[in-house]
Amino acid sequence: MKVLIAGSHGNIGRRLTRLLAEAGHEPVAMIRDASQAEELRELGGEPLVADLAGDVSDAPEGCDAIVFTAGAGPGSGPEPKQVIDRGGAEKLVAAAEAHGLRRYVMVSTVRADDPTSGPEHMVPYFEAKGQADATLAASGLDHTIVRPGRLTDEPGDGHVAIAPKLERGGSVTRDDVAAVVAACLERPDTIGWTFELLDGDTPITEALDALTGAADQ
């Protein structure tokens, strides 16, 4: 599967590029800075220079799926959140539709469904992510919306907690987020699901089986 990764040079993006290449897929690594191309090539990606703040309408050309794992970052104010976290994700929804691409996996966040439940300075971020999620969900594309808790760089152990609503806070390793996204791309039964993701005790495959009902079949 040829997968466009928006945010491929990010902390999740680099992990996902490597995982998809190792699994025999063709990751197309979207970067805005051409000097990152060699690093992405070494991870197994085919670099594509495109800036989410500009025109990305042709970025998905020839791809089978999009993963959005970009973000303006914690130091940015409300406007970059609207331009990149929301606007960039929404531009790729439109680009997918224009290119007849169906599959789109969003790396969202907990609280995207309830932005004001978080600390005040985080509200513009949660709002932008929630707006992007709503646009994707309403698009009719084959979407999966993954909502991780606070991301950490601890080594992943392949064990997670997954549910539409987990009713607790917590963190999750970037390793395991990348592994869950890679699993979703290979599982059509995750299409249409929006779920929260935290560190937990359940192997990823079992956690996704329980979510989608695959365990009952």
- Residues lying near ligand NAP in the complex (CB under 6 A): 7, 9-13, 32-33, 51-53, 69-73, 84-85, 107, 109, 148, 150-151
Q: SS3 of 98, please?
A: helix
Q: Which residues contact 35 (CB under 8 A, 6 or more apart)?
A: none
In the annotation, is 104 catalytic? Answer: no
Select 40 or 101, whichever has its Cβ closest to ligand NAP. Answer: 40
Residue whose beta carbon is closest to ligand NAP: 10
- Distance separating alpha carbons of residues 9 and 2, to the nearest angstrom: 17
Q: Which of 182, 105, 177 is nearest to 136 (CA)?
A: 105
Minimum Å gap between C-beta 86 and ligand NAP is 11
Minimum Å gap between C-beta 104 and ligand NAP is 13
Alpha helices in 140-200 (DSSP H): 174-185
Select 15 or 209, whichever has its Cβ closest to ligand NAP. Answer: 15
- Distance separating alpha carbons of residues 91 and 70, to the nearest angstrom: 13
Select 73 or 188, whichever has its Cβ closest to ligand NAP. Answer: 73
Cα-to-chain-centroid distance, residue 39: 20
If DSSP states are collapsed to H, E and C, what string results for 21-47? HHCCCEEEEEECCHHHHHHHHHCCCEE
Minimum Å gap between C-beta 36 and ligand NAP is 6
User: Which of 104, 125, 126, 195 is the catalytic position?
Assistant: 125
Select 44 or 209, whichever has its Cβ closest to ligand NAP. Answer: 44
Minimum Å gap between C-beta 134 and ligand NAP is 16
Q: Active-site positions?
A: 125
